[in-house]
Structures are given as structure tokens and as C-alpha cells.
A = this chain, B = another copy of it.
Amino acid sequence: MAATIKDVAERAGCSIATVSRFVNGTAVLTLETRARIEAAIHALGYRPSELGRSLRRQATRTVGVIVPSLTNPVFAASVAGLQARAREAGFGVLIASTEYDPAQEMAALDTLLGQKVEGLALTVSDPLASPVLPVLDAERKPHVLMFNQADRPGRVCVTVDNVAAAFAMTNAILAEGHRRIAFLAGRFSTSDRSRLRYRGFANAMARSGLVPPSPTEVDFLIDMPDQAVAPLFEQEAAPTALFCSNDILALAAIGALQRRGMAVPADVSIVGFDGIALGRMVEPPLATVHQPAREMGETAMEILLAELREHVAERPTFLPFELRLGGTLATAPAHAAPSAPLVAQPQWRQT
């Protein structure tokens, strides 16, 4: 078995209290005691048990994080950012992933609360429908949403303004002369981000006097959106641009279109949302709305730390987004509808 504080104390010929003080640097000790304890620790390979420590201190110095998936680099990046900040503050991070299944959210929360995490950062399917938020409220557990937008005024979240971002991007697409723009969306029921981005898109379309088309919803876990994309381009007036609610979808859509023999962006422009690294690597680079995912995790952890320290709820934080234009977003083909007067670009926070 692993050595305990008792083993160290025995070997060093002192009390466990003294060992504890040495380990935590919480008292001044004789040079000699110090040396004996140090030797004992080294010889036994002693490592303090966070279990005993946490139980005694009534604080685990641990936070939990719940994300829909670790395989989507956007969430992975936020977790990485959160973890980095946590480490700096001496906090551990417990991660649970729900695989985009809302039904798993409660189980994940149960596990994390059982581990006595002091706070949580989470991205749920839909804050308005998630059962975990009320539980968090009832338990008065400090928590912060990432990527999601708040379901009510008092809720703390850190995200970008999805509606405004999609609105801005849609105007940029319109500015390239596109009029027939389709929206490819991750299922609304499993992503409020998707829904909010569609709303921004629809708002911008309407403001330009266009009728926003219904969204084409696709499941996240299907590799190929080929079937979803097909009907769009079999109709009479096919879209000249496709706004996808996230980058993975957008990259997949590019492949789907190319398999149909269409060129991007010559025939169809493609726009994504997220700003994953891979989008800048492909050629042409993916036009997208970049949101600072890693920073989102960092900010979430900072908010959590502040709440734990000061016992005061922080305020919702909107991080700036950034439009990455060009690349897969080009001017609408000449044979498309002639360009009409455009509305002014809306304002958005710029880095």
C-alpha cells in the first residue's frame, strides 16, 4: 500500500501533525526535523492523500466541467483553457462528457456533485430545457455556462453573442451579393447555439427584405451531411451560399458539395461558425465566425474562482467574436440574382 502520513511520522520519529506542517509549510520547523521528515518522505515515496485532505478541509479544490463532446475541438479547447487556469490556482478539474445526449446531463451532474466539486462550468444542450440548471440553483452551487446563453437574468454565462455574430456574418454574405442563402444547422433540440445563430441569420435576411429559408437540421454525430445537403441543390433556385452553424459541419458540407461536382467558393460559398484551427489550414481557408473557445474556458474558470472566493455571483460575459471573411466566401456567381442595396453592417465587438 501507498505510504500515509503515519508511516512518515513513524520513520521520522515525530508526530503526524509535524509531518503535516512540513508538507504544507504551515509552521517553522527545526532544520533537523525538517531533514528527517524529508528523508522519510523520499524513502517512502509519500504523497499526501487529497482524499483525507479534502475531507478534513471540507474543500476539494476541484471544479467539474460538463461538455457535449470532447471530440469537437471547440469544446476540447475550452476544457484545455479551463484546465490551465485551474492548475494555476491549484484546482483540479473533473470532466464529464454527455455525447450530445441531454439525458446524460443529469447523470454527469450527479457524478460530479458526488465528488464534491466546488463549482461547475458547463455547456448544456439547451439552458431553457436542461434539468441540471434548476438542481444547481437549488444546491446553490457556483456554476457558469460556456457557449450557452443564459436562460434567465441571474444566470452566469460566458459566450459570444451568437445572434449578433450570425447577424453580422449573414450581412457579410449578403454584401457579397448572395440572395439565396441556406442555413445548415446542428439539431436545435441539442444546441441552443445552433438555434441562436439561425435567429441571427434570419434577422439579417429579413432586414434585407428577404424571406429566411427554414433551417436544414442535421444530427451532430452523422459523419456525412451529404444527404442533408442534396435536396437543397436539387431544387430550382439552388442557394449560392450555405451558412453552417459550426465549422465541422461547414468542412463536411464543402466535401459534400465537391462530391456533387460543385466548386467552393466558385459555385457555392460556405461559411461556418467557431473558428477551429483546421479551418485556417484548408485551402481555401474556411470563412467563419471565430469565437475564442480556449479563452472561454479560461474566463469560466476565473469567474468560478471569483465566486468561490467572494461568494458573489459574477455577471454574464460576452467575449468578442471575429469574422474571418474571404476564402470559402466569395462574391455570388454572376448568373445569380442581381445585387440589391445593402443594409449597413451592424456593430460588433472587435478584438
Contact = CB atoms under 8 A, between A and B. Distances in A.
Interface of A: 2, 45, 47-52, 54-55, 60, 69-71, 73, 76-77, 79-80, 83, 92-97, 99, 110-111, 113-116, 138-139, 223-224, 248, 251-252, 254-256, 258-259, 277-278, 280-283, 285
A115 B49 CA distance: 6
A21 to B, nearest CB: 18
A71 B73 contact: yes
Given A70-B79, A283-B258, A55 B51 contact: yes
Nearest to A108: B87
A280 B97 CA distance: 24
A113 B47 CA distance: 8
Nearest to A257: B283
A293 B47 CA distance: 32
Q: Main SS of the interface on chain A?
A: helix
Contact of A45 (B48, B50, B139, B278): B139
A51 B60 contact: yes
Contact of A255 (B48, B52, B283): B283
A245 B69 CA distance: 25
Given A50-B116, A51-B60, A282-B251, A92 B80 contact: no
Most B Cβ at <10 Å: residue of A45, A73, A138, A258 = A73
Given A70-B70, A71-B73, A255-B281, 5 more contacts: A50-B115, A71-B277, A73-B73, A223-B281, A255-B282
A94 B92 CA distance: 9
Contacts of A283: 254-256, 258-259
Contacts of A69: 80
Contact of A281 (B50, B251, B280): B251
A19 to B, nearest CB: 15
Given A51-B55, A114-B48, A278 B254 contact: no
A115 B224 CA distance: 41
B70 A114 contact: no
11 contacts: A47-B110, A49-B55, A70-B76, A80-B97, A92-B115, A95-B95, A223-B281, A248-B278, A254-B281, A255-B282, A258-B283
Nearest to A221: B277
A83 B55 contact: no
A285 to B, nearest CB: 8
A341 to B, nearest CB: 36
A280 B256 CA distance: 10
A69 B70 CA distance: 11
Nearest to A54: B51
A95 B93 contact: yes
B49 A223 contact: no
A128 B281 CA distance: 32
A5 B278 CA distance: 50
A248 B110 CA distance: 36
A51 B138 CA distance: 22
A146 to B, nearest CB: 15
Nearest to A80: B70
A244 B35 CA distance: 52
A79 B129 CA distance: 28
Nearest to A69: B80
